[in-house]
Amino acid sequence: MNLFSDFPMREELTRAISDLGFETPTPIQQKVIPTLLAEPIDIIGLAQTGTGKTAAYGLPLLHHVDVSLKHVQCLVLSPTRELCMQIQEEMTKYGAHMRGLRVTAVYGGVPIIGQMREVRSNPQVIVATPGRLIDLLERKALSLEHLQYVVLDEADEMLNMGFREDIDLILKNTPAREHTWLFSATMSNEVRGIAKRFMKDWKEFSVAAANTTNENIDHQYYVANHHNRFETLRRLLDFTPGIYGIIFTRTKQDAQEVSEKLMKMGYPTSPLHGDMDQKMRSKVMERFKSKALQCIVATDVAARGIDVNDITHVINYELPDDPEVYTHRSGRTARAGKSGICMSIVSPKQISNIRQIERLVKQKFHKSDIPDGAEIVRKKMFFYMEQIATAEPKADFAKLYTDLIHDQFADVDKDELIRKLIWLQLKDTIEVYQHTEDLNAGYDNKGGGDKSSRGNRYVRMFINLGEKDGLNAQKLIQFIVESTDVEPNTIDRVTVRDMSSYFNVPGDAAEYMIEHLSSKKFKGRKVRLDEAEQRTGGPGGGGGDFRGGRPKPQGARYSGDVRAYGGGGGGRESSGGYKGKKK
Ligand code: AMP
């Protein structure tokens, strides 16, 4: 494997890459950069956003630029303004030590006058959307007469957006063009068509699409009837208090409406769609990047090119029609080696679409339960408790206020004080979820497990392992399969919680699994497996857990005491034993 320092690149670029902290080139960079540095032939790179493709073409492009010449030498065409801005930002970082280098971005949605001024100041590199570039060419604000390198970034998306004629027109007006580098997530006949019309003897490089084989994504789906979609979204958000995510809708109108409803309810979200002007969209992105917003509600087009690496969740408010679009969406999470969750809210009829996507991404999706009110309150309670436990008040805060706080609460019992603090945080949630119905579509609410279409009774199982043990549904299934030798498809409806998980197995497999798993250890800790139903009567109960396939209706109701949500005993969380045993 090559290091960046092995590439025969101009020193200014190597230095910039080192400033940025890039150590090893990504697979597409490994393949493309040495070729394009040595001999800039025509190439097609099949790679998606998140694979490092911008640097794969950007570094060789800058390597070949002659900064002493004051005319446009390189053009990068990209489908959206967001992507244009990001490419410009990236290229400017790579070229930070190249004195005299100018990289300008031009895109629609902002007044053209300012951009006319910018392109007249002789940048060597222009990043453009096709429409705005043609506009500038028609106004004779810039000339492509000396253009040597053209990069078509996200070519498939430009074609999807109807830019074919614009691309043709631009490429026909580049008399000095020597090399064309085409990047695309997918290879269609139309993409190949561009290559055939405008490229010569090209070489193809492809890397496994980042998000179709990304095993760090846990794909989950939640089955709800159409009219419960928004309420389901709300519960999923409440159930993931630390979320930093993107919620995808199909239409701009939905993005606006869903976001407005959430904002009214106090969620730090904002819409992002094509009906918003550029200034508003940039502002939203700024707030999202600075984490002033926890979520954005976006359409596919507006979200293209959002370059944020630590997205924890992608939520499909509705599944896209095209399974390929699903992979683009889910690929927004689990980037740069991190793991992430992609949740889809589907109606019972759309389960067949899930199967279709499963085949495309070659990963099994996990059917998960829409949490009930009790679970949500319980989850939030642990979230706040952890926040309190890990908070580190600044030294000057402590100095200023310690005495004041002590005087005020000197006579209050510590437990009571903590209860009050948590109550303040939770009372709105408790209020909202006081009387909640089961939103999972297609199940009876009588408890006792659901039945498969074959009439085989399924049993809901509890296991004392969860997210805190580094598990997601996939990893849990893997552990169970390896420990018991059962077929992976005997395990269904896996719901991984913080410190425990639930799943369904056929009734006749339950006993066998309990027998085989209960003697096992996971990371040194003894595994406990039970039928979820049987835990109801166990010591301390652990209210709010799932029992017998669906939660008991009374478990979903607030009974006036926070302990009703499982803080009272039985659960690992309250035993105080977990922390010590972890790892
Ligand atoms: P891209 O696929 O070009 O959109 O890049 C995705 C993200 O990865 C960007 O934030 C880049 O700055 C970052 N990146 C690109 N190449 C590397 C690398 N070799 N090492 C670490 N980060 C990288």
For residue 213, give every residue at least 6 positions away whose Cβ sits within 8 Å of its Cβ, in sequence order, or none: 361, 362
Residues comprising the chain, all counted: 583
For residue 409, give every residue at least 6 positions away whose Cβ sits within 8 Å of its Cβ, in sequence order, or none: 417
Contact 343, 316 (CB under 8 A): yes
What letters, b where the CB count within 10 A reaches 16 and e where it falls short, cover 289-320? eeeebbbbbbbbbbbbbbbeeebbbbbbbbbb
Residue 498 tokens, joined: 């913080």
The predicted structure's pLDDT at residue 395:
85
CATH class of residue range 217-367: alpha beta
For residue 474, give every residue at least 6 positions away whose Cβ sits within 8 Å of its Cβ, in sequence order, or none: 215, 218, 363, 364, 366
The predicted structure's pLDDT at residue 552:
34
Protein residue closest via CA to atom 22 of ligand 1: 22
Contact 472, 343 (CB under 8 A): no
The CA-based angle 6-8-13, given to 5 degrees, is 95
Give the β-pairing of 245-248 and 295-298: parallel
Residue 312 tokens, joined: 């924890």
Give the chain's radius of gyration (CA, Å).
27
The predicted structure's pLDDT at residue 349:
84
Residue 32 Cα, ligand 1 centroid: separation in angstroms?
14
Protein residue closest via CA to atom 21 of ligand 1: 22
Cα–Cα distance measured from residue 532 to residue 333, given in angstroms and rounded to the nearest whole number: 32
Please report which helix (H) or strand (E) contains residue 251, including its range: none
The predicted structure's pLDDT at residue 446:
35
The predicted structure's pLDDT at residue 313:
95
Q: Report helix, strand or coil for 174.
A: coil
Alpha helices, DSSP H, located in 103-205? 112-120, 130-138, 155-160, 164-172, 189-198
The predicted structure's pLDDT at residue 550:
34
Residue 266 tokens, joined: 């106090």
| AA letter at 25 | P
C-beta contacts of 493-496 below 8 A and 24+ residues apart: 493/366, 493/367, 493/368, 493/369, 493/460, 494/366, 494/367, 494/368, 495/368, 495/369, 495/546, 496/218, 496/466, 496/467, 496/471, 496/472
Side-by-side strand order, sheet with 529-531 = 492-496, 501-506, 458-463, 529-531
Q: Kindly report the number of other CB atoms within 10 A of residue 35's CB atom.
A: 14
The predicted structure's pLDDT at residue 246:
97
Q: Is the CB of 55 within 6 Å of ligand 1?
A: yes
Q: Is the CB of 567 within 6 Å of ligand 1?
A: no
For residue 152, give every residue at least 6 positions away whose Cβ sits within 8 Å of its Cβ, in sequence order, or none: 77, 158, 167, 180, 181, 182, 183, 184, 194
The predicted structure's pLDDT at residue 451:
40
Q: Is the CB of 27 within 6 Å of ligand 1?
A: no
The predicted structure's pLDDT at residue 541:
30
Residue whose entry in the numeric block shows the structure tokens 């309190």: 388
Alpha helices, DSSP H, located in 139-188? 155-160, 164-172
Q: For ligand 1, what atom is nearest to the CA of residue 26?
A: 19
CATH of 4-206, one of 3.10.20.740, 3.40.190.10, 3.40.50.720, 3.40.50.300: 3.40.50.300
Residue 535 Cα, ligand 1 centroid: separation in angstroms?
48
For residue 404, give every residue at least 6 positions away whose Cβ sits within 8 Å of its Cβ, in sequence order, or none: none
Q: For ligand 1, what atom is nearest to the CA of residue 90?
A: 12
Residue 176 tokens, joined: 């000095």
Q: Is the CB of 82 within 6 Å of ligand 1?
A: no
The predicted structure's pLDDT at residue 181:
97
Give one DSSP letter per residue of 504-544, joined into a string.
EEEHHHHHHHHHHHTT-EETTEE--EEEHHHHTTSTT--TT
| Mutation to probe ligand 1, out of 90, 154, 214, 311 (largest number of atoms < 8 A from CB) | 90
User: 88: alpha, beta or left, given left = phi > 0 and alpha = psi -120 to 50?
Assistant: alpha
Residue 240 Cα, ligand 1 centroid: separation in angstroms?
27
Residue 336 Cα, ligand 1 centroid: separation in angstroms?
8
Q: Is the CB of 26 within 6 Å of ligand 1?
A: yes
Cα–Cα distance measured from residue 193 to residue 171, given in angstroms and rounded to the nearest whole number: 13
Q: Is the CB of 22 within 6 Å of ligand 1?
A: yes
pTM above 0.85, yes or no: no
Residue 22 Cα, ligand 1 centroid: separation in angstroms?
8
Helix, strand, coil shares of the chain, percent, nearest 5, are: 45, 15, 40
Please report which helix (H) or strand (E) contains residue 76, including its range: strand 74-77
Cα–Cα distance measured from residue 178 to residue 60, given in angstroms and rounded to the nearest whole number: 14
The predicted structure's pLDDT at residue 456:
55
Q: Is the CB of 53 within 6 Å of ligand 1?
A: yes
In degrees rounded to 5, what are phi and psi of residue 111?
-55, 140
Residue 530 Cα, ligand 1 centroid: separation in angstroms?
45
* Identical fold, 4-206 and 372-583: no
Cα–Cα distance measured from residue 40 to residue 188, given in angstroms and rounded to the nearest whole number: 24
Q: Is the CB of 124 within 6 Å of ligand 1?
A: no
Contact 55, 90 (CB under 8 A): yes
Average pLDDT for consecutive 10-residue bins of the chain (583 residues)? 87 95 87 92 88 94 95 95 92 97 94 94 95 94 94 92 93 94 90 93 78 74 92 96 94 94 95 88 92 94 78 94 85 80 92 86 86 90 90 86 90 91 92 87 46 56 90 89 81 85 84 84 88 48 32 33 32 30 30
Cα–Cα distance measured from residue 522 to residue 531, given in angstroms and rounded to the nearest whole number: 19
Q: Say how many CA atoms lie within 13 Å of 268 toward its Cβ.
A: 13
For 375, counting Cβ atoms within 10 Å of its Cβ (0-12 exposed, 13-18 middle, 19+ buried), the class is buried
Cα–Cα distance measured from residue 251 to residue 332, given in angstroms and rounded to the nearest whole number: 19
Report the topology of domain 372-583.
Answer: Alpha-Beta Plaits (3.30.70)
Protein residue closest via CA to atom 16 of ligand 1: 52
Domain chopping of the chain, boundaries: 4-206, 217-367, 372-583
Cα–Cα distance measured from residue 438 to residue 127, given in angstroms and rounded to the nearest whole number: 50
Protein residue closest via CA to atom 11 of ligand 1: 52
Q: For ligand 1, what atom is nearest to the CA of residue 93?
A: 12
Contact 308, 291 (CB under 8 A): no
| Mutation to probe ligand 1, out of 5, 17, 22 (largest number of atoms < 8 A from CB) | 22
Q: Is the CB of 78 within 6 Å of ligand 1?
A: no
For residue 425, give every residue at least 6 positions away whose Cβ sits within 8 Å of its Cβ, in sequence order, or none: 380, 384
Residue 285 Cα, ligand 1 centroid: separation in angstroms?
18
The predicted structure's pLDDT at residue 209:
53
Q: Is the CB of 50 within 6 Å of ligand 1?
A: yes
Residue 457 tokens, joined: 């009774």
